[in-house]
């Protein structure tokens, strides 16, 4: 690892000095204060959140063939319940249609003969987890993340892309024999109906909100870049955002009282590829401007262009969306940005820049969104990589009003009690801190379930653990 991971900084002063080199406004508080900013209540979706931690959606590639939860799925939801995070944002990606499943084991409404029962099981497991820790019933506000994987659909294993438009770089990176199957306007509208049907199941099961997933390269995110598409869902921003806005309106009218959130990739970068000589990631070569990304400058595609993202946030707020879970890029084409990590997954590349600088890009995106459209509630991403210093940076961002909630992904796989420990003023248990080994991504990229194989004793004992270890890139072993 050519960049010092946070755990190597022995004192807060040393760590702060590195943060300041990245950006003078990148700060960490002295310590997490009991009753401080992270413990402040926040009204959302008609309820009051008791703290400022959110659990990010984390799927496990572990549903059964019908798209129903298995014991592994329910264990993960139970642990989300144990975390004490006041907001459970989405739980995990829930495919609204078979052809939109990201893998054959993704939870799915269309393939499940009894979705109501499956969703009740997920909520039951979550509540069991929080009750086991002595939390009041219904102490967590819980949403379900609805998705169609679009270009990255793999309902039977191999890639079976359903795309909104032709994307030269991504088609080079992910070649497909039959070529991409472009979705017609009528097909898009049919998919939107399935989103609404899934929202209804979530509402009836007792979820407080749904997340209309528009991030990470999946269909609703891809549509936001469909400048080259003609017709009502391509071209201008108003057209590109039309399906998402129609969906918000439909969910609000069909499911009164159900909150609506959107997980949004606010900005992006050019797609990256591995430089075979060095193993390090590099942007794919491009001739001419890059018009196929969202929140990225066409002429200078290494820079954030906030104009359209800010306009979209305003549109979403006006449509009745209350909260945005902010993320960046995609785990497929720029994983170093989407989930900053010290070690790449088996199909990844070594980080082309200090992952701490990528963490700052997440923080900066949230700051800009909050400053531009403060009426929305924002969940930030990018905190897991901070490891020992997660609490002090998180407290600084919330205390300064830069973001409302601290979203945690991988950290909750290895150490679900971290929010509880930090809120109680305890020092984080270093043995359980996620060290961003990426094994939880390597597993599913090679057809296995996901889990924290190195640090969660339950997954360490599973047969996949040795296979995942053998697949680690050389840079890690
Ligand atoms: C194993 C795994 C599963 C994930 N599943 C989802 C998912 O279902 N939906 C989603 O929006 N993001 C998903 N993500 C992305 C995370 O929610 C989060 O954005 C990412 O891990 C960065 O946050 P972190 O640095 O706290 O881990 C997943 C990430 C991992 C590693
Ligand atoms: S496998 Fe565990 S330690 Fe590695 S990135 Fe995933 S959660 Fe973190």
* Token representation of residue 448: 């296995």
Distance from the CA of 441 to the center of ligand 1, in angstroms?
A: 9
- Write the burial class of residue 131 (CB in 10 Å: 0-12 exposed, 13-18 middle, 19+ buried): middle
How far, in Å, from the CA of 393 to the mean position of ligand 2? Answer: 20
Nearest to 150, CA basis, from 159, 142, 140 = 159
For residues 338-374, one letter each, b for 16 or more C-beta atoms within 10 angstroms of the residue's C-beta and e for the rest, the string is bbbbbbbbbebbbbbebbbbbbbbbbbbbbbbbeebe
| Containing structural domain, residue 270 | 6-470
Neighbouring residues of 286: CB distance < 8 A, sequence distance ≥ 6? 169, 270, 301
SS3 282: strand
Could you tell me where the beta strands, DSSP code E, fall in 74-215? 87-88, 93-95, 141-147, 162-163, 181-182, 209-212
For 15, 141, 205, 227, 260, the CA distances from 49, given in Å and listed in that order, are: 31, 7, 20, 38, 16
Torsion of CA 461, 4, 393, 313, to 10 degrees: -90
**Does any domain span residue 476?**
no
Position 476 scores a pLDDT of 54
Pairing mode of beta strands 141-147, 93-95:
parallel
Ligand 2: residue whose CA is nearest its atom 3: 434
Residue 354, domain member (yes or no): yes
Determine the 3-state secondary structure of 146 from DSSP.
strand
Q: Separation of 331 CA from ligand 2 center, angstroms?
A: 15
10-residue averages of pLDDT along the chain (477 residues): 90 97 98 97 98 98 98 98 97 98 98 98 98 94 98 96 95 86 96 98 98 98 98 98 98 98 97 96 94 94 92 98 98 97 94 97 98 98 98 98 98 98 96 97 96 97 95 66
Task: Decide if 377 contacts 405 (C-beta within 8 A).
Answer: yes
Cα separation, 164 vs 152, in Å, equals 12
192 contacts 220 by C-beta, under 8 angstroms: no
pLDDT at 1: 66
Residue 91 sits at the vertex; the CA angle it makes with 89 and 96, to the nearest 5 degrees, is 105
Strand intervals (E) in 249-339: 259-267, 272-274, 281-283, 323-328
Of 452, 469, 472, the one to substitute when testing ligand 2's pocket (max ligand atoms within 8 A of C-beta) is 452
Whether 32 and 425 have beta carbons less than 8 Å apart is answered as yes
pLDDT score recorded for residue 303: 83
Taken as a whole, the chain contains a residue count of 477
Does residue 1 lie within any of the structural domains? Answer: no
> Could you tell me the pTM of the whole model?
0.98
Token pair for residue 295? Answer: 């929140």
Residue 465 Cα, ligand 1 centroid: separation in angstroms? 20
CB-facing half-sphere around the CA of 261: CA atoms within 13 A: 27
Q: Which residues of 227-238 are buried (b: 16+ CB within 10 A; e: fewer)?
A: bebeeebbeebe
Ligand 1 binding site (Cβ under 6 Å of any ligand atom)? 56-59, 92-93, 145, 213, 215-216, 263, 327, 339, 381-385, 408-411, 440-441, 450
8 A C-beta contact, residue 38 and residue 390:
no
> What phi and psi, each to the nearest 5 degrees, are found at residue 219?
-50, -50
CA gap 308, 255 in Å, rounded: 29
In this prediction, residue 477 carries a pLDDT of 42
CA dist., res. 244 & res. 222, Å (int) = 11
Q: What are the backbone dihedrals phi and psi of residue 235, each rounded to the nearest 5 degrees, phi first?
A: 100, -115
- Classify residue 151: in a domain, yes or no: yes
- CA dist 356 and 268 (Å) reads 17
Could you give phi then psi for residue 232, rounded to 5 degrees?
Answer: -70, -15
- Ligand 1 atom with the smallest distance to the CA of 147 is 9
Q: How many domains does the chain have?
A: 1
Q: Which of 338, 342, 451, 423 is nearest to 386 (CA)?
A: 342
Confirm whether 352 is domain-assigned. Answer: yes
Q: Which token pair is 94?
A: 């829930």
In a domain, 66, yes or no: yes
Flag whether 477 is in a domain. no
Nearest CA to ligand 2 atom 6: 440
Q: Which two tokens stand for residue 389?
A: 């210093």
User: Is the residue at 475 inside a domain?
Assistant: no
CATH code of the domain covering residue 147: 3.20.20.70
Measure 426 CA to ligand 1 centroid, in angstroms: 26
The pLDDT, as a whole number, for residue 343 is 94
Distances (CA, A) of 231 to 67, 228, 291, 317, 319: 33, 10, 18, 25, 22
């Amino acid at each position: 690892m050519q960049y010092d991971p946070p755990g190597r900084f022995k004192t807060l002063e040393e760590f702060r000095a590195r943060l300041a080199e990245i950006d003078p406004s990148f700060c960490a508080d002295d310590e997490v204060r009991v009753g401080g900013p992270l413990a402040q209540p926040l009204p959302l979706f008609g309820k009051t959140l008791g703290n400022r931690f959110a659990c990010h959606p984390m799927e496990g590639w572990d549903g059964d063939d019908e798209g129903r939860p298995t014991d592994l799925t329910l264990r993960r939801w139970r642990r989300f319940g144990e975390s004490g995070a006041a907001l459970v944002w989405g739980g995990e990606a829930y495919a609204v249609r078979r052809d939109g499943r990201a893998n054959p084991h993704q939870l799915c409404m269309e393939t499940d003969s009894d979705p109501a029962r499956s969703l009740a099981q997920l909520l039951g497991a979550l509540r069991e987890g929080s009750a086991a820790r002595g939390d009041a019933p219904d102490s967590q506000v819980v949403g379900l993340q609805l998705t169609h994987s679009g270009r990255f659909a793999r309902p039977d294993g191999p890639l079976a892309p359903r795309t909104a438009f032709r994307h030269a770089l991504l088609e080079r990176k992910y070649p497909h024999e039959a070529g991409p199957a472009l979705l017609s306007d009528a097909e898009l509208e049919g998919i939107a109906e399935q989103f609404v049907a899934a929202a209804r199941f979530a509402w009836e099961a007792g979820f407080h909100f749904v997340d209309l997933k528009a991030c990470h390269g999946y269909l609703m995110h891809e549509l936001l870049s469909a400048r080259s598409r003609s017709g009502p869902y391509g071209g201008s921003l108003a057209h590109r955002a039309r399906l998402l806005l129609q969906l918000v309106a439909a969910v609000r009218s069909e499911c009164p009282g159900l909150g609506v959130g959107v997980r949004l990739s606010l900005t992006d970068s050019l797609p990256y590829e591995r430089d075979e000589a060095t193993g390090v990631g590099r942007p794919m070569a491009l001739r001419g401007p890059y018009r196929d990304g969202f929140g990225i400058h066409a002429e200078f595609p290494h820079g954030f262009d906030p104009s359209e993202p800010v306009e979209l946030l305003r549109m979403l707020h006006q449509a009745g969306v209350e909260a945005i879970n902010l993320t960046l890029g995609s785990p497929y084409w720029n994983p170093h940005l989407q989930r900053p990590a010290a070690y790449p997954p088996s199909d990844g590349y070594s980080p082309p820049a200090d992952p701490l600088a990528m963490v700052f890009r997440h923080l900066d995106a949230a700051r800009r969104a909050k400053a531009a459209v403060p009426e929305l509630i924002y969940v930030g991403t990018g905190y897991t990589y901070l490891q020992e210093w997660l609490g002090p940076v998180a407290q600084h961002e919330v205390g300064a009003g830069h973001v409302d909630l601290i979203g945690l992904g991988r950290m909750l796989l290895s150490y679900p009690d971290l929010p509880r420990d930090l809120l109680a003023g305890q020092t984080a248990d270093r043995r359980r801190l996620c060290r961003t080994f990426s094994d939880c991504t390597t597993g599913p990229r090679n057809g296995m379930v996901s889990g924290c194989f190195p640090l969660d004793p339950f997954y360490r004992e599973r047969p996949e653990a040795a296979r995942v270890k053998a697949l680690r890139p050389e840079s890690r072993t």
